[in-house]
A and B are shown apart, each in its own frame.
Chain A
Amino acid sequence: MSGALQSSRAPLLTTYALLVYAFLYFPIVVLVVYSFNGSGVGGFPPSGWTFDWYRQLFADASLWDAVLNSFIVAAVAVAISLGLGLPAALALDRAQFPGKALFRRLVLLPLILPGIITGLSLLMLFVGVGMKLSLVTVTLGHGTALISVATTEIFAGLQKMDRAQEEASLDLGANHWKTFWRITFPNLKVSLIAAALLIFTLSLDEIAVTFFLIGRDNTLPLEIWSRLRRGITPEINAISTLILLFSISTILIWYRLRTRTQHAGESPAEAAMLPSSLEGEHS
């Protein structure tokens, strides 16, 4: 029945959907094409196939410093947000305490709140306690904002877990600590890896919070940002293409993990819903 329904033709709708895809992919394709364009950014048609921009890029030491900074910040942000997101998800799932509703809202707020507000209020905190702005403040900012991502991802994993498994473990004589490491943790492994990938990617791309908390050393997006203000060069197209490749591959891995754990009958959209709601940090 549903097969008959689904195969019903809708030429107009199909065309429209194709146009939306074209709109979504057009800028990305342009970006990639012009990263190989001999005559620089812009102009039509692109002319002169070249790898010069990539060559320039690889020789650009300050850019690579920024890449390294970004990787360090992202790695520590993953540690912070998972380290706190895991207990937060466990608390939301299984503890009752006064102010739980407020706690939930507060943890999840950075998901949807424009990054500027998170960034600004953290700036005021750090300045207030006399902390110098540096990669440390950036990392703390990323870690804090991304706890929301970790919490939702892990919480979703907990919800899918059969609670009877933990009861069975206790029943068989393992205490709470052993039960956590032998049953709960292995059950959450995929959620944790997926969350880590997601947080890493989001942190690498973060600008709004970073914008306010950055000191002398730049992260990659801010390095690009400061160059953009000086004018655009195909070198930026080249680095953008590489960033694109990197985020596409992490997201594909993440998506695989996510769909592998999803229950039968659950749509991939459902599996992807939660993290996607978290992209608030981007703007």
Chain B
Amino acid sequence: MNASGSPVPVERGPVEVLLSIQKVEKQFAGRPVLCGISLDVASGEFLTILGESGSGKTTLLRLIAGFEHLDSGEIRMAGERLDQIPAHRREVNTVFQSYAIFPHLSVFENVAYGLRAKSVARAEIPPRVTQALAMVKMSEFSQSAPSRLSGGQQQRVALARALVNRPRVLLLDEPLSALDANLRRQMQVELKSLQREVGITFIFVTHDQEEAMALSDRVALLRAGRLEQVAEPREIYGQPATAYAAQFIGQTNLLRAEVRDGIANAGPMAWPSAGPSGAATFSLRPEAIRLSSAPQGARPAGGTAHFHGRVQNQTFGGAMDLVEIDCGNSHILRARIPSPGPLVGQQEFEFAASDAVRVREGGGS
């Protein structure tokens, strides 16, 4: 499990691990949902748990919130066991996917709920609620009934209701999934700046890789209950650890190659590769492939691989065209090439050897 507990990026300086998940296992009716999850979350970090539905991401969130009990392993917050504390005594709050706004309470009372539950001094409640509502730009709706609010507004109330308690960790369970595309982008921006403003650790669950890329300091990619890779968005895109990670995040070409004497061979292509010899899989992003001006049949030199292939299909895509290249032997590569004009027949292509990233195949570990 190379991915687990991977170090928090250096440029963030010395960081304190706030939440530590160690070897967490969870089954539902004998079916494993989470298998040996280990993950450290730094204080003030925006971490996204990314995965398809059924990958166990919501279960992991519910374990942190305390709605489920783990089978084995442990979760610690600031060094102390969290998993044995009941949900209502954890310094963790959740923004629910369905928002779960209490329909029988006003917006104000919804936000005040947590403060009242924890017996915060009476006089302190109104200013804190007001401040929280202002933070999410919902001040004017303070006395409204929840049923009068739009989905986006309910979302904001849910956020204020959680943040007003000043939790150490805020959990967000696909909070944007019910919003339409425009509102969703706007909320992403606001969410990110809100997180910087309050400095609270956010753990955000989503199945949308673009959202994960846009928001997070780090992304934890979950697949069938196992962590596939934990890394910064740029790293997970540029250096995917596994074939799954490469395919799930962005588009990619997977090249099944044979590595011998530091050279990788896949069909008509060959490029230098430092890794061990034998069969290997490489991920090559479509935008890494360029039209080449070098002479035909050039061999790997200066870290650039050249190949030729027949353009099978070309789809206009504005700034970039999507080009399908048939390299023979049923090798089809997809390339994204900036405005090449119509391409016909055999063409020469190239890519930098460093863009072909060696990835692991198969399951998560």
Does B bind A? Answer: yes
Give bound CA distance, A176 to B87, whole Å: 10
Contact between B104 and A174 (Cβ–Cβ < 8 Å)?
no
Contact between B114 and A172 (Cβ–Cβ < 8 Å)?
yes
Contact between A175 and B65 (Cβ–Cβ < 8 Å)?
no
Looking at the assembled complex, report how far the CB atom of B176 sits from the nearest CB atom of chain A, in whole angstroms: 16
Contact between B92 and A162 (Cβ–Cβ < 8 Å)?
no
* Residues 155-187 of A at the B interface (beta carbon under 8 Å): 162, 164-165, 167-176, 178-179, 182-183, 186-187
What's the A-B contact tally at a CB cutoff of 8 Å? 66
Contact of B181 with A by CB under 8 A: no
Contact between A173 and B165 (Cβ–Cβ < 8 Å)?
yes
Contact of B364 with A by CB under 8 A: no
With A162-B98, A165-B102, A167-B87 as contacts: A172 and B93 at CB distance below 8 Å:
yes
User: Mostly helix, strand, loop or mixed at chain A's interface?
Assistant: helix
With A162-B98, A164-B98, A187-B104 as contacts: A169 and B113 at CB distance below 8 Å:
yes
Contact between A167 and B100 (Cβ–Cβ < 8 Å)?
yes
Residues of the A chain whose Cβ atoms lie less than 8 Å from the Cβ of B66: 170-171
Contact between B94 and A173 (Cβ–Cβ < 8 Å)?
no
Specify the chain A residue showing the minimal Cβ separation from B87: A170
Residues of the A chain whose Cβ atoms lie less than 8 Å from the Cβ of B87: 167, 170-171
Most buried by A among B93, B103, B113, B161: B113
Number of interface residues of A (CB under 8 A): 19
Residue in B88, B96, B100, B104 whose beta carbon sits within 8 Å of that of A173 in the complex: B88
* Residues 254-278 of B at the A interface (beta carbon under 8 Å): none
Residues of the B chain whose Cβ atoms lie less than 8 Å from the Cβ of A165: 100, 102
Contact between B102 and A173 (Cβ–Cβ < 8 Å)?
no
Most buried by B among A162, A171, A173, A175: A171
Contact of B117 with A by CB under 8 A: yes
Contact of B89 with A by CB under 8 A: yes
* Residues 208-259 of B at the A interface (beta carbon under 8 Å): none
Having A164-B100, A168-B161, A171-B162, one finds 4 other A-B pairs with CB under 8 Å, namely A167-B94, A168-B102, A176-B88, A183-B102
